[in-house]
Each structure stands twice: as C-alpha cells, then as structure tokens.
Amino acid sequence: MNDPCPNCFVCMCSSEEEKDMLYWLVMGLCQGRVFEQYLCGSVIPFVRINDVKKALNWLSFNHTAKLVQYKKKVIAIQEVQHARNNLLQQLQTLQTLVIDLMK
C-alpha cells in the first residue's frame, strides 16, 4: 500500500528509492510468510510495530554487502508481482468474456 489507511503504520523515508526498497522488502517478508509468527488477535489478525522492526532487523538492513543481495531479491519480487498482476488481469478479462457470452 502506498497510501496510509486506518490501523496501519506509516514509515517515513528520506528518498523515493529508500521508500521503494522498504516497500518491496516488507512485501517480500509478507509473501514469504515471515510475519505469520508475529500475528496477534483472535478476530482481526495484526502485527505489532515492534515485531515489524524485529523482522526488518532480522534482514540486517544496514549491511552494504547484503544490500546488493536484497536489491536483487526486491527486483525478483517486483517481477513476480508484475506477472501476478498480469495473470489476474487476464483472469478478469476471461471472466468478463464468459459473462458476455452468456448474455
């Protein structure tokens, strides 16, 4: 999410590049189910901000040698997300086509 919404954290970044990097790293953690171990709440699952910080620290974000690896992973995650969005768009188009054929 690029826009804040209720009951979410907002991260302030010093540059657009830093924001994109952080966004895709957190997206990768979500897709990798890293946050599942931190889920709380019986009705509405949520993750505490300190647990998000723990997960980000787990990545050793400040190590420049690993930063190159993370950037490669971020690019791979972006490509997978783009392919996923394309497939979802194709499925939606097919569903619309089926509905139009049934009329």
Amino acid at 85: N
- Model confidence, pTM: 0.59
The tens digit of pLDDT for each residue in 62-87 reads 555 666 777 787 788 889 889 999 99
Quote the pLDDT of residue 61.
Answer: 56
The tens digit of pLDDT for each residue in 24-59 reads 878 877 877 888 888 998 888 888 989 888 887 776
CB atoms < 10 A from the CB of 66, how many?
13
Q: Could you tell me the pLDDT band of residue 92, with boundaries at 50, 70 and 90? A: very high
